[in-house]
Amino acid sequence: MSKNLKRNLVAYGLVLPAFLVVMLTVAYPIVLAVIQSFQDSKTGEFTLDNYTYFFTEPAQLKNILYTLYVCLMTVAIAIVVAYLLALYLRFVRSKIAKTIGTLYLVPRFVPAMCAVYAMITIIRDSGLINRIGLVFGHDVKLGLMYHANGMIMMNLWFNIPFAALMITAGLGAIPDSIIEGARDVGASKFKVFTSMILPLSIKDVVVAATFVFMSNVGSFTTPYLMGGSAPKMLGIALFDQFNKYLAYNRSAALSVIMFLICSVSAGVYIYTNLKENEWEK
Amino acid sequence: MKRRLLTMLLSAVMLAACLTGCGGKAGDSGNSGDAGSGGKKAVSLWATGSDNVREIFEALVSDFNTNSEYAGQYEVTLQFMLSGTGAQTLADMLAAASKAGQTNTDYDIVDLSGDDLSKLVSLIGQEQFVKLDSSKIPNAASVEAKSSIATDYCQPYRGTTVILAYDSAKVPTPPATMDELVAWMKANPGRFAYNTPGTGGAGDSFARSSVYNFLPEEAFTSDDEKWIGEWDEGFNFLKEIHPYIYSSGGSVVYPNKNQGTLDLLNQGEIDMCPNWADMVLSQRASGEIKDSIKITQIDPALTGSLQSLVIPTFGSNTDGAYAFMNYMLSPAAQELMVKQMAAIPLIDASSMDMTGYEDLQGLDVSNFRLQSIGGLSTSFNERWDSEIATIG
């Protein structure tokens, strides 16, 4: 046996357990779900009904659009805020910046359920803000509970620290020397940002955006506790199909639809990662 | 090494066999004579549910074994199946044992919910349970509540029901009928809520009662698909009251879970909601919700359920089972259940200490309204979700 072959076998051997686990717990169920999604619930024959249902039933179509709206808003706001935060943390050297730099990750360590309930007690129509308002004679009703805005706000709590973490890492890789160099030859701050910092960090921004998007498409806890009765986020719609209506074939179809929505974003992620930058060629 | 292990194992087995043998003998000789059942002391009690149910049963069993009039005569051991953890439910296990023709099993006495009881009756038939001899359960004489299924074959011992929970500080005189409730909703828009059916029994009960109030009484306990065609009037009623339900952020909201509406009530965002009597009272007793929250029943009543004990014919200690059944209807046991789970007592509560749970005495258990529409509930929830939730 050649040395090369041996080394290859060892490598495969090391990868094999992980590969098998992934095949068994991820790939196999996905294949099953895809098959099931094309089957009639009673006869088991091939049908497209499970899919057409989600695109023709007005309530279900609204659910899909609603989910996209909530996710895209979350991504847009989270990324802008996170980027500004990351820029601040990277380029401002002060005690406040340092403190924020250590504190901004705290939300990541608060269990989701606690965070959601904490938010509810503050923003609900009878919550903390309302009570403070009452002291000053104003009956403040935010109307955030059971509304898309409340959910987006909650999503920001979870996602801004996460996105900021990724973007900060990217910005940290930009050496001070090139910025100082550019400033030396007379580039304005704005110019430095648009032609150096932004292009150098855009990859991390896109990656962060795809992650934020994907993690919100299937979210459950926040919409279950904070969402309204209709329209619903797809995570809840899927729960209804599976647990309430026991419509397993439709559940499978909805899972595939969610998978496809996510894979658009996964595609962007892979494309950005594969695309070589000019200077890397 | 191997041999030594084997020796140790064998001796352990022998020791165990010896000890159990002695134990059995001691037990037999201990109660031959006073227990008129051929002297079998051990009684296996089977129950299922969530962890709070296990706790209450452990307390009851230990009270039975040490303090009750049967102490020393019978020794009950609890076999508890935590719901949602086993592959097989207790009802499935009983059905399997019965269908396999097993006899003399240790399913001596079994605690069943109304749903499980109806499931079992349809699976194996009520004759698989001992037809109860009322002379052996003297405490049951004052019990008026009766199960609608297998009436002579099971003994209800506690109940709970969905009631109307309200904030007495804001609603001094709560509605007494469904019509009064609707009139109240219209006079106080946005102050009533029920939770999304399918996310908790209170919302299920309210929505279903509202629809089935327009149907004959027999439909209430039927899973015949013909009733689906008659839901229209009820759903129109739900649409009619929709604009008067709690709203937030500009649209009407049906919160998820029983706790969702109870939180709104406790926060003062609504003044009334259907909820489980036991849930409201136990949370009030522990201080989680305001003292001003009270409960009342409307007419026609919201639905409830009875918890019953049965004695399978394939069990092995009928007399011990009767003894435990009788104990469960004793004031001591009933008081324990009131205090630990806000269960509605089925015997006269006047001799019991009901401090903190006085509201329970006002509930009339004799006209408990039970509902089981079986598989129709999925169609019901689906229709509710697509017709009512989406009105906005």
Distance of alpha carbon B64 from alpha carbon B248, whole angstroms = 51
Supply the DSSP string of A19-80, one letter for each residue.
HHHHIIIIIHHHHHHHHHHTB-TTT--B-SHHHHHHHHSHHHHHHHHHHHHHHHHHHHHHHH
Same domain, B190 and B135: no
**Which residue in A57, A149, A246 is closest to B378 by CB distance?**
A246
Residues 151-180 of B with CB under 8 A from A: none
What's the pLDDT score for residue B21? 45
What would the pLDDT profile of B262-280 be if each residue is shown by its tens digit? 999 999 999 999 999 989 9
DSSP state of B108: -
User: B201-212 vs B232-241: helix axis angle to the nearest 10?
Assistant: 120
Chain A residues with CB-CB distance to B386 below 8 A? 57, 59
Q: Looking at beta carbons, which residues of chain A come within 8 Å of B392?
A: 230
- Cβ-contact B245, B193 below 8 angstroms: yes
| pTM for the full predicted model | 0.77
Are A246 and B250 an interchain contact pair (Cβ–Cβ within 8 Å)? no
A95 and chain B: CB distance < 8 Å anywhere?
A: no
The answer to whether residues B137 and B180 belong to one domain is: no
Which residues does chain A have within 8 Å of residue B250's beta carbon, measured at their own beta carbons? 143, 147
H, E, C per residue of A184-212: HCCCCHHHHHHHHHHHHHHHHHHHHHHHH
A23/A17 Cα distance (integer angstroms): 10
Q: CA A262 to CA A268: how far, in whole Å?
A: 10
Nearest-neighbour CA in chain A from B288: distance (Å) = 14
Whichever domain contains B127, its CATH number is 3.40.190.10
Closest CA to B252 of B263, B241, B268: B241
Which residues fall within 8 angstroms of residue B340, CB to CB, at 6 or more apart?
B52, B55, B56, B59
- Residue in B157, B123, B121 with CA at minimum distance from that of residue B137: B157
Cβ <8 Å between B385 and A147:
no
Choose, out of B204, B239, B289, B390, the residue to mutate when testing the contact with A (most A CBs < 10 Å). B390
pLDDT band at B230 (very low <50, low <70, confident <90, very high): very high
Q: Identify whether B31 is part of a domain.
A: no
The structure tokens listed for A116 are 């959601």
Chain B interface includes A250 (CB < 8 A): no
Q: Tens digit of pLDDT for each residue in B365-374?
A: 666 777 778 7
Mean pLDDT of chain B: 86
Within this chain, do residues B184 and B285 fall inside the same structural domain, yes or no?
yes
Does residue B9 fall inside a structural domain?
A: no
Q: Taking residues B164-185, what's their average pLDDT?
A: 96
> What residues make up the domain containing B254?
160-304+370-391
Pick B253's closest partner by Cβ from A229, A245, A246: A229
Which residues, in sequence order, are CB contacts of A162 under 8 Å at separation 6+?
A: A82, A108, A208, A211, A212
In a domain, B32, yes or no: no
Domain contains B177? yes
Average pLDDT over residues B239-253: 92
B29, two tokens: 């000789």
How far does Cα A158 stand from its chain's mean position? Answer: 9
Residues of chain B contacting residue A62, judged by C-beta atoms under 8 Å apart: 390
pLDDT given at position B360: 84
Scanning every residue of chain A, which has its alpha carbon at the shortest distance from the alpha carbon of B261?
A225
Does residue B63 sit in the same domain as residue B204? no
C-alpha closest to that of A50 among A273, A238, A196: A238
Q: Which residue of A has its CA nearest to B250?
A: A143
With beta carbons under 8 A apart, name residues in chain B contacting A229.
Answer: 196, 251-254, 389-390
CB contact under 8 A, A59 and B390: yes
Q: Indicate yes or no: CB of A229 within 8 angstroms of CB of B248.
A: no
Contact assessment for residue A264 and residue A48, using Cβ atoms and an 8 Å cutoff: no
B269 in reach of chain A (CB within 8 A): yes
In a 3-state reduction of DSSP, which class is residue B111? strand
Q: Residue B189: inside a domain, yes or no?
A: yes
In angstroms, the CA B381 to CA B207 distance is: 9
Which amino acid is residue B150, in one-letter code? A
| b/e sequence A71-109, b meaning 16+ C-beta within 10 Å | bebbbebbbeebbebbbbbbeeeeeeeeeebeebeeeee
- Provide the residue-wise pLDDT of chain A in tens; the chain has 281 residues: 678 888 889 989 999 999 999 999 989 998 999 999 999 988 889 999 999 999 999 999 999 999 999 999 999 999 999 999 999 999 888 999 999 988 988 888 899 899 999 999 999 988 999 999 999 998 888 889 999 999 999 999 999 999 999 999 989 888 889 888 988 998 888 998 988 899 889 989 999 999 999 999 999 999 999 998 889 999 999 999 988 888 899 999 999 999 999 999 889 888 888 876 555 55
For residue A170, give the amino acid letter.
Answer: G
Structural domain contains residue B20? no
Q: How many angstroms separate the CA atoms of A121 and A159, rounded?
A: 20
Residues B202 and B291 in one domain: yes
Say yes or no for a CB contact (<8 Å) between B268 and A240: no
Nearest CA in chain B to A122: B267
Angle between helical axes of A248-274 and A49-56 (0-180°, round to 10): 80
Q: What percent of chain B has pLDDT over 90?
A: 55
Same domain, residue pair B203 and B250: yes
Q: Are residues B50 and B151 in the same domain?
A: yes
Strands B247-248 vs B304-310: parallel, antiparallel or unpaired: unpaired
The answer to whether residues B93 and B224 belong to one domain is no
Helices marked H in A136-278 — which ranges?
A: 148-172, 176-184, 189-192, 198-217, 221-226, 234-239, 248-274
Main-chain phi, psi angles of B112, to 5 degrees: -130, 140
Residues B278 and B170 in one domain: yes
Instruction: Give A177's contacts (C-beta < 8 A, 6+ positions apart).
Output: none
Q: Does residue B168 sit within a domain?
A: yes
Q: What is this model's ipTM?
A: 0.79
Same domain for B257 and B387, yes or no, is yes
The answer as to whether B16 is a domain residue is: no
Confidence (pLDDT) at B26: 37
* CA atoms of B210 and A193, how far apart (whole Å): 63
Q: How far apart are the first and last CA of chain B?
A: 75
Interchain CB contact of A58 with B (< 8 Å): yes
pLDDT at res. B391: 87
Angle, in degrees to the nearest 10, between helices A112-123 and A128-135: 30
How far is CA B51 from each of CA A49, A138, B83, B129, B279, rounded to the nearest angstrom?
42, 44, 8, 27, 15
B364 alpha carbon, distance to own chain's centre:
16
Interface of A with B in 137-176 (CB under 8 A): 143-147, 149-150
Q: What integer pLDDT is reported at residue A246 of this predicted model? A: 83
- Chain B: give the shortest CA distance to residue A242, in Å: 11
| B381: contact with A, CB 8 A cutoff | yes
> What domains can you pick out in chain A, each with its CATH number?
44-273 (1.10.3720.10)
Q: Nearest-CA neighbor of A179 among A101, A96, A281, A87?
A: A87
Amino acid A109: pLDDT:
87
Q: What is the DSSP string of B303-322?
A: PEEEEEEE-BTT-S-HHHHH
- Separation of alpha carbons B322 and B156, rounded Å: 13
- H helix intervals, B162-257: 178-187, 201-212, 232-241
Question: What whole-number distance in Å separates Cα of residue B328 and Cα of residue B337?
Answer: 9
Looking at the fold, whether B326 and B377 belong to one and the same domain comes out as no
Quickly count: other Cβ atoms within 10 Å of residue A265's Cβ: 19
- Domains contained in chain B, number: 2
Cα–Cα distances (Å) from B352 to B155, B160, B187, B277, in that order, read 21, 18, 40, 19
Quick one: residue B313, left, alpha or beta (phi over 0 = left, psi -120 to 50 = alpha)?
A: alpha
> Are B81 and B199 members of one domain?
no
Q: How far apart are CA B147 and CA B149, in angstroms?
A: 5
Reported as a single tens digit per residue, the pLDDT across B302-347 is 988 889 999 999 999 999 999 999 999 999 999 999 988 888 888 8
What angle, 0 to 180 degrees and rounded to 10, lies between the N-to-C axes of helices A28-37 and A248-274? 130
Flag whether residue B250 sits within 8 Å of chain A, measured between CB atoms: yes
Q: How many CB atoms lie within 10 A of CB A160?
A: 21
Residues A152, A70: contact at Cβ < 8 Å?
Answer: yes
